Amino acid sequence: MSIIDTSLTMTHAWFGVLAGVLALGYALITMMSVLKESMGTPKMKEISEAIQEGAMAYLNKQYKALIPFTGIIFVVLFFVAGAPMSISFLVGAVCSGIAGYIGMNSTTKSNARTTEAARSNGLGKALKISFRAGAVMGLSVAGLGLLGVSSLFLIFQDADVINSFAFGASVIAFFARVGGGIFTKAADVGADLVGKVEAGIPEDDPRNPATIADNVGDNVGDTAGMGADLFESYGATTIAAMILGNSLFGLSGALFPLLVGTIGIIASIIGTFCVRTSENGNPQTALNIGLWTTNILTAVCVFFLSGYIFEAPLSYGITIAIVIGLIVNILIGGITEYYTSGGKRPVNNIIRASETGPATNAIQGLAVGLESAFVPMLVFAAAIFGAYTAAGMAGAEYAIFGIAMAAMGMLSTAGIVVAMDSFGPVADNAGGIAEMADLPPEVREITDKLDSVGNTTAAIAKGFAIGSAALTALALFQAFVDSAAKNANLQASGALDYVDGAYKLIINLNDPLVLIGLFIGGAVPFLVAAFTMKAVGDAAGGMVEEVRRQFREIPGIMEGTGKPDYARCVSIATGAAISKMIPPGIVAVACPLIVGFGLGVKAMAGFLCGLTVTGVLLALFLSNAGGAWDNAKKWIEANGGKKTADGQPNPAHQAAVIGDTIGDPCKDTAGPAMNPLIKVAGTIALIIVPFLMF
Amino acid sequence: MSIIDTSLTMTHAWFGVLAGVLALGYALITMMSVLKESMGTPKMKEISEAIQEGAMAYLNKQYKALIPFTGIIFVVLFFVAGAPMSISFLVGAVCSGIAGYIGMNSTTKSNARTTEAARSNGLGKALKISFRAGAVMGLSVAGLGLLGVSSLFLIFQDADVINSFAFGASVIAFFARVGGGIFTKAADVGADLVGKVEAGIPEDDPRNPATIADNVGDNVGDTAGMGADLFESYGATTIAAMILGNSLFGLSGALFPLLVGTIGIIASIIGTFCVRTSENGNPQTALNIGLWTTNILTAVCVFFLSGYIFEAPLSYGITIAIVIGLIVNILIGGITEYYTSGGKRPVNNIIRASETGPATNAIQGLAVGLESAFVPMLVFAAAIFGAYTAAGMAGAEYAIFGIAMAAMGMLSTAGIVVAMDSFGPVADNAGGIAEMADLPPEVREITDKLDSVGNTTAAIAKGFAIGSAALTALALFQAFVDSAAKNANLQASGALDYVDGAYKLIINLNDPLVLIGLFIGGAVPFLVAAFTMKAVGDAAGGMVEEVRRQFREIPGIMEGTGKPDYARCVSIATGAAISKMIPPGIVAVACPLIVGFGLGVKAMAGFLCGLTVTGVLLALFLSNAGGAWDNAKKWIEANGGKKTADGQPNPAHQAAVIGDTIGDPCKDTAGPAMNPLIKVAGTIALIIVPFLMF
């Protein structure tokens, strides 16, 4: 009995190309419609342009700094692995870069337009513009991902060769995450410590020299960093699924992930149409409708697609696995929201602890972060089990396809999830511009409403990024195990077992090499987190000194007559980010190479598992602790807790501000760095596995 | 060729009994010599008795609270696993309790005597008394451990049956660590927040109602908790090594670990004789000489012992594995010291970051803690590889004995390591008594000198506790895998593989159940750490309110005319510790049971590995971050940084105090809880493995 329709041909890969082009075309039209809107007063325009200039300057420097790094890898790949792999690597890196440029361009060009819409038209239009800007980013990420993978597959016709596309994407993503994370938090912490705490001026006050850098940071961290992260997950998952699909089912199996991606993109575009709200409507509801539309459409279409390609019960199993991915997305988002939202138990604990000072605030924040890592791991465990079991219904050999399908399911909706996430920084910037341009408070009220929704969607997107990284890493791991079994050196060296007439990589935890790999892999995320936390601490210190210097040396700065040197702060943050992203980058790339070539394929497998477990745990811990601290502070502020009854600064609020600052590098630098870290290791493992000797 | 001398008989187990009795006798004589010393002025006596009373009251309540818990386990074990297992469990729990009582009695009865020696005789005698008090604890721990295991082995003659001794010890250890950790930090944080920060009175000021509770806490946390922790490692490692030895070599293999323990105890006693210093001597040097004497003696004697029992090259391999354990001890101690000592780069970074406030101080502290977890994991990886390879020289089947031998080597010196650690709280208390009894500053100078050495030895002991927990967990894991292969149910259910004519448990990371176990196991330490951090935060909040109430309501308290209600603070800390140690205890015991019986033997194996990796990482991260914060504050204080040049409180010092307080529950509650957590899981796994059905 055939379990798969083998009539699919290479032509079907064109669906992926077309869907990619469709997504990019939709992004282009959307962008043009946004650009038609007014940017408001000259002052608003000026601020927006300063932010855009800073963001683009940063992005240029970041990519320029990466040219030698990617160049070396390209050359090494060319000579060691051949032209197709090196070209795939370059296409992955360049596509990631293009996605970053498009996204950054769209969000930085929409911030003042959103402010202006809030000023002249109100909430509905402000949501429309800011969400459209996000959609440009979201669909560029998904579109470029699918277009890149599909085109390379059409050209080289070999899933195993194009896996370096994911490696290219992951290298760029790592640096975008780490560099962007250092930039944004150096600027934020520096601006807050001197501006808010020492000088007592509010957030986004134009007198603060670091305020433009702070707003630039929102874009380079939250937009470009997150976009690159999800672009990488998208590419890596698709390719891992293609490799496994090809290995199990031949060409049709390799094409299936591309067709799922096609469905996801179309569903995402339809979903974006559903995001609209009236003047008194709830923007969160509008976004939720868009997301649910996409999820349901994807699930339904996938059901028919797998019914068309696979025989029952395999078709059901694959559909279930994909739906599991969609459910993981919703659950992780909900858990993240629970642990990081004001009004819920965890954040309430932090708020209460603020009464006894910054130390107890920090202790409770750490406790919340640590606790928040537990339940998502159970969700992942359940998803692994469910996806495995579902895909294995038709035969044990298909089980490993399940996790890759769950990851595909989750990532197929990346278009709309990135759109929802990128909308946050636009709303945040729009509020900053309203403040800096001295617009009436009603404008700020509207942008604040959008911004607070943006914080929720950012939490959901963070959960999405972590969850998808976890599933992607597992899919890459499965592809790694699958590829290892085909390596003739490993067959000869005895690293593989010969079971039932075939070679198999058995990774026995009782094997000391596997255990060693597990220990080393488990430790690497701690080192990378340490490097990135320290980088923010150091860079923020430099920013503090620069802002203090400007306050001291520029006459009339506090009275608003002297103009702060914004560009100098942007350039300090840029310099720090670029120089400090290199050491963790070297760790991320060198560790898997050393373990793989030095300790062999079994240690490498243990390494990948250890890295994934602690990487995901640290990502959850750090991101959620930071989010909870942030929202504890916001809740106190929103409930009039800035001052005590007699008008003095409230010590509980000051404690919460300290907690929020501690959380800044946790949630926006070290935490997010974990996602690309585990994927870099996975993609490297997949690339080097054919060259391992033992 | 026989690889082992099989002429050893059960009689040789009497060596273990005799060495245990010798250690206890030595402890008794030492204690009596300490008790002969003067306790000083009536005031000193009164304070010391208050501390002792509080500590004993806490210990009584803690053990009483555990009676139902241990009773239930005893009954369940009796009916499910039979009388020998339930009796072994009880003996383990009771021995751990006795060790706790002896240690607590000795340290709390020596504090005032140390103060008095410092007052009347000087540094040399003060070191002698405080170290002797520690030695009582150290040799009681090792002596009771070896005596208990040897006696049970003589009675039941079956290593597999007495493994519940380790389970009994581990349950008590978990609660002693968690309860003691909550007590000590609730008292410490509460005392500091109101006393030092709000009321501006110094540490250990008798006007602070929480000061006795704080001093009690030093004993219940650092002495009783650490003692129970190492007692458990000692018992669990010895038994795991006996099980593996028995399985590989028969009776002689089971006896070998007992003989190694015998050597370690004699070497530790000799080592304690070498700890002496003159008036101007360096106490650290004296302690180091004692430790090195023990290490070298142990290594030499073990070389001859294994040469006597095993053929070469196996005898060399086993000696090397044991020496690796001794080296791990030294390396981990050194690394811990590097990351947590003032004057070294990591702590200097925290000191510098304190200049820009508590937030940057906290960020750098977290970075230091995260980074400090990396290198020790490489040390563990190297130790695993080295021990495995060394023991495997004579044949691959002996390799798994290596890790157990490395753990044995490390723990054989527990007697002197615990002595060095327990000396710290005595010196700390002695300083507190000097302060509270208004003794001249020269006395405090001497006790401060001892206390600062105590901080270093505490760091070394913390590294020892974590390292030994890691190796113990791995030894338990090996014993678990070994036992699983003998389970007939597992043989029948297909959970085992039949390889080369024998059943084997192969834990393939590519098996979804193993992966699920790994994910769940990896997450549990985060949950337990969260519970314990939160417990301290909450309990400290209650303590703050009580101290504030006393300051408000007791007339003349600040002038020294009104007497604070010390007992009430002790009782609040006790209540909080007892009630809040239960939930994490339930998690620690329930999770391995649920995974084992619910998901089967393969998930259980993955669970143990995941738990060990993240448990050890979190232990290192939390303990070292806390230690580094603590010493950053101490360094600032020691270098005149409490006040600025114009006599104002120095904001950098205040920031460092906040960092220190954040670190308190990290280093003394959540971090130390990780050690027994991973061992509880390991001992439970070993007990339930014969009952697993799949």
Say how far apart CA B109 and CA A557 lie, in whole Å.
64
- Interface mutation target, options B544, B609, B620, B621, chain A, most CBs of A under 10 Å: B609
% of residues, chain B, pLDDT over 90: 72
Say how far apart CA A320 and CA A297 lie, in whole Å.
14
| DSSP annotation of B563 | P
Collapsed DSSP state (helix, strand, coil) of residue A200:
coil
Nearest CB to A512; choose among B388, B537, B621: B388
Please enumerate in sequence order all residues whose Cβ is within 8 A of that of A578, keeping only pairs 6 or more positions apart, or say none.
A61, A62, A65, A179
Please enumerate in sequence order all residues whose Cβ is within 8 A of that of B350, keeping only pairs 6 or more positions apart, or say none.
B361, B364, B365, B368, B628, B629, B632, B656, B659
Where does the pLDDT of residue B1 fall: very low under 50, low under 70, confident under 90, or very high at 90 and above?
A: very low
Nearest CB to B367; choose among A358, A478, A530: A530
Nearest CB to A526; choose among B478, B534, B617: B617
Task: Return the half-sphere exposure (C-beta side, CA atoms, 13 A cut-off) of residue A97.
Answer: 20
Per the CB < 8 Å rule, is B658 touching A658?
yes
User: What's the gap in Å between the CA of A518 and the closest CA on chain B?
Assistant: 8
- Give the chain B residue whose CA is nearest to the CA of A514: B509
pLDDT on residue A2: 61
Say how far apart CA A590 and CA A167 lie, in whole Å.
14
Task: Return the half-sphere exposure (C-beta side, CA atoms, 13 A cut-off) of residue B134.
Answer: 37
The Cβ of residue B598 has, within 10 Å, a number of other Cβ atoms equal to 9
Tokens of A625: 């602790």
Please enumerate in sequence order all residues whose Cβ is within 8 A of that of A227, keeping only pairs 6 or more positions apart, or say none.
A99, A100, A103, A137, A140, A141, A176, A418, A422
User: What's the gap in Å between the CA of A28 and the closest CA on chain B?
Assistant: 41
Tokens of A537: 């601490």
Q: How far is CA A348 from CA A655, A661, B224, B650, in A?
A: 14, 18, 34, 32
Chain B residues close to A670, C-beta within 8 Å: 370
- Give the chain A residue whose CA is nearest to the CA of B386: A512
Say how far apart CA A530 and CA A96 lie, in whole Å.
26
Please enumerate in sequence order all residues whose Cβ is within 8 A of that of B138, keeping only pairs 6 or more positions apart, or say none.
B268, B272, B414, B415, B416, B417, B418, B419, B420, B421, B422
Q: What is the mean pLDDT of residues B627-649?
A: 90
Say how far apart CA A340 and CA A461 lie, in whole Å.
13
Reported residue count of chain B is 694
pLDDT on residue B2: 62
Tokens of B198: 């709000």
Nearest CB to A377; choose among B512, B513, B523: B523
Please check whether residue A109 is in contact with residue A55, taking contact to mean a CB–CB distance below 8 angstroms: no
Please check whether residue B450 is in contact with residue B655, taking contact to mean a CB–CB distance below 8 angstroms: no
Pairing mode, strands A502-504 and B497-499: unpaired
pLDDT on residue A1: 43
**Mean pLDDT of the residues in chain B:** 92
Chain B residues close to A388, C-beta within 8 Å: 512
Q: How far is CA B647 from CA A225, B353, B464, B651, in A?
A: 47, 21, 42, 12
Nearest CB to A508; choose among B370, B507, B529: B507
Nearest CB to B367; choose among A193, A518, A537: A537
Per the CB < 8 Å rule, is A617 touching B614?
yes
Nearest CB to A536; choose among B363, B621, B662: B363
pLDDT on residue B532: 96
Could you report the per-residue pLDDT of B161-206, keeping only the tens digit for each?
A: 899 999 999 999 999 999 999 999 999 888 888 887 777 788 788 8
Per the CB < 8 Å rule, is B613 touching A610?
yes
Cβ-Cβ pairs closer than 8 A, A with B, add up to: 248
Say how far apart CA B472 and CA B450 lie, in whole Å.
31
Nearest CB to B507; choose among A371, A373, A509: A509
pLDDT on residue A316: 95
Please check whether residue B28 is in contact with residue B106, taking contact to mean a CB–CB distance below 8 angstroms: no
CA geometry: angle A387, A393, A395, nearest 5 deg: 110
- Give the chain B residue whose CA is nearest to the CA of A660: B359
User: What's the gap in Å between the CA of B491 and the closest CA on chain A?
Assistant: 18
Per the CB < 8 Å rule, is A531 touching B658?
no
Per the CB < 8 Å rule, is A533 touching B366?
yes
- A502: exposed, middle or buried (C-beta count within 10 Å: 0-12, 13-18, 19+)? exposed
Say how far apart CA A515 and CA B613 lie, in whole Å.
10
Residue labelled with tokens 């409507």? A281
Please check whether residue A195 is in contact with residue A546, taking contact to mean a CB–CB distance below 8 angstroms: no
User: What's the gap in Å between the CA of A40 and the closest CA on chain B?
Assistant: 38
Please check whether residue B686 is in contact with residue B472, taking contact to mean a CB–CB distance below 8 angstroms: no
Chain B residues close to A621, C-beta within 8 Å: 526
pTM score: 0.96
Per the CB < 8 Å rule, is B658 touching A358?
yes
Per the CB < 8 Å rule, is B518 touching A613?
yes
Where does the pLDDT of residue B143 fall: very low under 50, low under 70, confident under 90, or very high at 90 and above?
A: very high
Per the CB < 8 Å rule, is A381 touching B481?
no
Alpha helices in B192-225 (DSSP H): 211-217
Tokens of A387: 């996806």
Please check whether residue B386 is in contact with residue B409, taking contact to mean a CB–CB distance below 8 angstroms: no
- Give the chain B residue whose CA is nearest to the CA of A606: B509
Per the CB < 8 Å rule, is B481 touching A510?
yes
Please check whether residue B607 is in contact with residue B592, taking contact to mean a CB–CB distance below 8 angstroms: yes
Per the CB < 8 Å rule, is B508 touching A506?
yes
Tokens of B286: 């004296």
User: What's the gap in Å between the CA of A297 and the closest CA on chain B?
Assistant: 29
Say how far apart CA B63 and CA B97 lie, in whole Å.
7
Chain B residues close to A509, C-beta within 8 Å: 507-509, 514, 605-606, 609
Per the CB < 8 Å rule, is B617 touching A614?
yes
Collapsed DSSP state (helix, strand, coil) of residue A498:
strand
Say how far apart CA B349 and CA B456 lie, in whole Å.
19
Could you report the per-residue pLDDT of B381-408, keeping only the tens digit for each?
A: 999 999 999 999 888 889 989 999 999 9
Per the CB < 8 Å rule, is B373 touching A189?
no
- Distance in Å from the first CA to the final CA of chain A: 38
Chain A residues close to B479, C-beta within 8 Å: none
pLDDT on residue B382: 97
Q: What is the mean pLDDT of residues B243-253?
A: 94
Chain A residues close to B506, C-beta within 8 Å: 506, 508, 510
Q: What's the distance, CA A143 to chain centroid?
A: 16
User: What's the gap in Å between the CA of A331 and the closest CA on chain B?
Assistant: 17
User: What's the gap in Å between the CA of A600 and the closest CA on chain B?
Assistant: 13
Alpha helices in B192-282 (DSSP H): 211-217, 226-249, 251-273
Please enumerate in sequence order all residues whose Cβ is within 8 A of that of A21, keeping only pairs 6 or more positions apart, or say none.
A143, A147
Residue labelled with tokens 């490799």? A243
Please enumerate in sequence order all residues whose Cβ is within 8 A of that of B368, keeping only pairs 6 or more positions apart, or say none.
A530, B339, B346, B347, B349, B350, B624, B625, B628
Q: Give kind and range of the element (H or E) at residue A504.
A: strand A502-504
- Give the chain B residue whose CA is nearest to the CA of A536: B363
Please check whether residue B180 is in contact with residue B246, taking contact to mean a CB–CB distance below 8 angstroms: no
Residues of chain A with pLDDT under 50: 1
ipTM field: 0.95
Per the CB < 8 Å rule, is B509 touching A374?
no
- B145: exposed, middle or buried (C-beta count within 10 Å: 0-12, 13-18, 19+)? buried
Q: Residue A508 forms beta bridges with which residues?
A: B508
Residue labelled with tokens 């020269």? B442
Could you report the per-residue pLDDT of B90-139, keeping only the tens digit for each?
A: 999 999 999 989 988 999 999 999 999 999 998 889 999 999 999 999 99
Chain A residues close to B519, C-beta within 8 Å: 377-378, 380-381, 384, 613
pLDDT on residue A641: 87
Please enumerate in sequence order all residues whose Cβ is within 8 A of that of A137, keeping only pairs 6 or more positions apart, or say none.
A99, A102, A103, A106, A107, A223, A227, A418, A419, A422
Per the CB < 8 Å rule, is B359 touching A193?
yes
Nearest CB to A358; choose among B358, B523, B530: B358
Nearest CB to A356; choose among B193, B349, B378: B193
- Give the chain B residue whose CA is nearest to the CA of A476: B510
Closest CA to A115 of A404, A464, A342, A444: A444
- Interface mutation target, options A509, A599, A669, chain B, most CBs of B under 10 Å: A509
Please enumerate in sequence order all residues whose Cβ is within 8 A of that of B165, keeping only pairs 6 or more positions apart, or say none.
B88, B89, B91, B92, B95, B148, B149, B152, B235, B239
Chain B residues close to A513, C-beta within 8 Å: 385
Q: Is the peptide bond before A313 cis (omega within 30 degrees of 0)?
A: yes
Chain A residues close to B617, C-beta within 8 Å: 522-523, 526, 614
